Structure 1
Amino acid sequence: MTKKYPLDELSTALGRIMGLLLTAEKVDHAVQHLSRAVTDSIPGTLGAGVSILDPHARPVSSGFTGSMVERADALQYELVQGPCLTAWATQESILIHDVATEARWPNWSAAVVDFPIRSVISTPLIADGQAIGAMKIYAATPGAFEDATAALMELFASPAATLLSHIQTAETPERISAGLQTALFSRDLINRACGILMERHAIAEDAALQQLMRQARATRSTLKDVSANVLAGVASHPRRGSSDGLR
């Protein structure tokens, strides 16, 4: 039977989880903290995982307590089926009493048949009426969880989803800014490399870019890497222009 939590014990567990999330600076850190805290707080849990999903059900940030949990979740995304994705899509908790006899996700159940997983609960993370992901727990024995365990998971999930959503929103401008800086840096590298080739070979900008692209295909590199090599060659041999490998 699942342990029935008295109110003070439940409050302590929730307070610990919320405290961990509030001190997390990044979404990735927060979901990892939450996974560990849920594992420690719910009796019978072999492992736990938390995934924040994008609108296409692709994981954006994920936290796991072990490689088994990580692989079991990865199989859901690869097969596009499983309790975590269903909980996220339906915004309802999913309880599996025995994976060995579970028929709702036959491909996923067959894929994890050799895993030490028999009982599962997946609970959606809902913030402002939208499911942003799911948290899940696994147990090695059948019948390890019951409706009361699912209700406990939902108590954890509600405030956790709100905090994760706030952390994620706060991170978004930083991630966009970092991506923009990377894009601008790459464009600058390519432009500078084109300028060097234009001067060296007296060719137009389009021709210089085509040379970079051919070199990238030939070496299975990116335009950014090839451009960086051109600049590095100029820096290493300022009086010799042949080190970039482009003619």
Structure 2
Amino acid sequence: MAQRLPLDELSTVVARIQGLLLTEEKATTAVRLLAQAAKESVAGTIGAGVSLMDARGRRTSSGYTDGIVSQADAIQYECGEGPCLTAWAAEEPVLVRDLEGESRWPEWRKAVRGLPIASVVSAPLIAGRESLGALKLYAAAPGVYDASSAALLQLFAAPAATLLAHIQASEAPHRMTEGLQASLYTRDLVNRACGVLMERSGLTHEAALQQLMKFARSENTALQHVSERVLAGTLPPGA
């Protein structure tokens, strides 16, 4: 039987999720924190998980509380079907009261037959007009989840989706900045290596750069690594 949380307790749980997620920059950490909070919300739940997916339904990030969730989810992605993928694609909650009597997802049901999963509830993570993924709970006994469980999970999913979307968006500038910093570092490294070759062999900057590129191709390595060897004095003479 699903646990019906009073409104004030539910608000406390959601506030806790918000507080946790807003202090994190990584979506992978955020989904793990959300999964743990969701698991604690319904008695009888043996595992909870959050999966973020791209437009083609491919998992981009995931967090789960127990190994059973990871196994059941992995089988969904392998089979291309399952309650969580349906919740994500249909953008509506999916409730499985008793997996034994379920007729949907025949391949997935057959594949998870050996796992201790008897009931499932999953809700989509929708931010604006975009479905980001799904939040799901697994139970070992049938009848653990009902309509109130699905409603509760939706209450979790709504603010969580908004927060996860915010985290993903805020990470983009960080990724761009990190990429720019790496690019600038590599450019500086190559220029310094060219300067060493110019002084050592009397080459022009362009000729020194060509020499670095030629050696990188012959060694099947990155230009950055060749430059590091030049600066360290470990590049063979005449290379």
Q: Normalised by the shorter chain, which TM-score bucket?
A: 0.7 to 0.9
Q: Which amino acid aligns with 2:74?
A: A
Q: Aligned partners of 1:92 and 1:187: how far apart in 2? A: 49
Name the residue aligned to 2:136: 136
**CA pair 75-176 structure 1, distance change in 2 beyond 3 A:** farther
Name the residue aligned to 2:216: 212
Name the residue aligned to 1:231: 227
Q: Which amino acid aligns with 1:158?
A: A
Q: Aligned partners of 2:116 and 2:6: how far apart in 1? A: 30
SS in 1 for 2:110: helix
Pair 1:242 & 2:233 matched: no
Name the residue aligned to 1:37: 37
SS in 2 for 1:122: strand
CA offsets 1:175-206 (integer angstroms, 9 cap, x no match): 22223333454566667778888987x87866
Bigger drift between 132-141 and 185-194 goes to: 185-194
Q: Aligned partners of 2:29 and 2:67: how far apart in 1? A: 17
Pair 1:69 & 2:69 matched: yes
Name the residue aligned to 1:157: 157
**CA pair 234-15 structure 1, distance change in 2 beyond 3 A:** closer
CA offsets 1:117-138 (integer angstroms, 9 cap, x no match): 2211111011112211111111
Q: Which amino acid aligns with 2:94?
A: I
Pair 1:18 & 2:12 matched: no
The answer (yes or no) to whether the contact 1:190–1:223 under 8 Å persists in 2 is: no
The answer (yes or no) to whether the contact 1:195–1:205 under 8 Å persists in 2 is: no
What's the % identity of the aligned pairs? Answer: 48
Higher relative contact order (CA 8 A, sep 6+): 2
Name the residue aligned to 1:219: none
Q: Which amino acid aligns with 2:236?
A: S
Q: Aligned partners of 1:236 and 1:184: how far apart in 2? A: 19
Q: Give, in angstroms, the shift of residue 85 of structure 1.
A: 1.6
**CA pair 163-241 structure 1, distance change in 2 beyond 3 A:** closer
Q: Normalising to structure 1: TM-score of the pair? A: 0.79
Name the residue aligned to 1:124: 124
Unaligned runs of 5+ in 2: none
Q: Aligned partners of 1:34 and 1:103: how far apart in 2? A: 30
Bigger drift between 182-191 and 63-72 goes to: 182-191
SS in 1 for 2:95: strand
SS in 2 for 1:16: helix
Q: Give, in angstroms, the shift of residue 70 of structure 1.
A: 2.0
Q: How many residues align?
A: 235
The answer (yes or no) to whether the contact 1:51–1:134 under 8 Å persists in 2 is: yes
Q: Which amino acid aligns with 1:54?
A: D
CA offsets 1:22-78 (integer angstroms, 9 cap, x no match): 333332222111111111111111111112222222223321112221232223223
The answer (yes or no) to whether the contact 1:194–1:209 under 8 Å persists in 2 is: no
**CA pair 205-179 structure 1, distance change in 2 beyond 3 A:** closer
Bigger drift between 70-79 and 153-162 goes to: 70-79
Q: Aligned partners of 2:211 and 2:4: how far apart in 1? A: 73
Q: Aligned partners of 1:28 and 1:114: how far apart in 2? A: 28
Q: Normalising to structure 2: TM-score of the pair? A: 0.81
Bigger drift between 160-169 and 24-33 goes to: 24-33
SS in 2 for 1:142: coil
Alignment of 1:159-174 (within 5 A): 159-174=159-174
Bigger drift between 12-21 and 123-132 goes to: 12-21
Q: Which amino acid aligns with 1:3?
A: Q
Q: Aligned partners of 2:136 and 2:157: how far apart in 1? A: 10
**CA pair 233-11 structure 1, distance change in 2 beyond 3 A:** closer
SS in 1 for 2:45: coil
